[in-house]
Amino acid sequence: MRDAYQIVKHPLITEKSTILREDENKYTFRVHKSANKIEIKQAIEAIFPDIKVLAVNTLSVRGKPKRIRNNRRGRKSDWKKAIVTLRPDDTIDIYETL
């Protein structure tokens, strides 16, 4: 098994993830592309020992096409996002983890 910090790369702070965090106690993370839900759950609980994960939802995000100088085409890498649901009384201080 990989290290927990190799599986969970960093939290995602967007408008949608902030709304999910405030309303439904769901936190969004960028994770390793080949990580599965069980590994993600174990990694989150290892990084934050007092947190209990109820559910993990994952989705693969396709990389966007980009234009590199001189009109050459390229594309950003594909990546994976995980939305982690915690117990109602659990919280993670996102800004401390950055």
Contact (Cβ atoms closer than 8 angstroms) between residue 7 and residue 31: yes
**Would you kindly state where each structural domain of the chain is located, as residue ranges?**
4-87
pLDDT tens profile 40-78: 999 999 999 999 999 999 999 999 999 888 888 899 999
d(CA 54, CA 70) in angstroms, rounded, equals 49
Between residues 52 and 98, the one the model is more confident about? 52
Residue 73 corresponds to which amino acid? R
With a threshold of 0.95, does the pTM exceed it?
A: no
Q: Is the pLDDT of residue 26 over 90?
A: yes
Contact (Cβ atoms closer than 8 angstroms) between residue 45 and residue 51: yes
d(CA 92, CA 44) in angstroms, rounded, equals 10
pLDDT of amino acid 1: 60
Q: Kindly state the percentage of the chain with pLDDT values over 70.
A: 97
d(CA 20, CA 7) in angstroms, rounded, equals 22
Phi first, then psi: what are they for 54, rounded to 5°? -90, -40
Q: Which CATH superfamily is domain 4-87 in?
A: RRM (RNA recognition motif) domain (3.30.70.330)
Contact (Cβ atoms closer than 8 angstroms) between residue 64 and residue 77: no
pLDDT of amino acid 4: 93
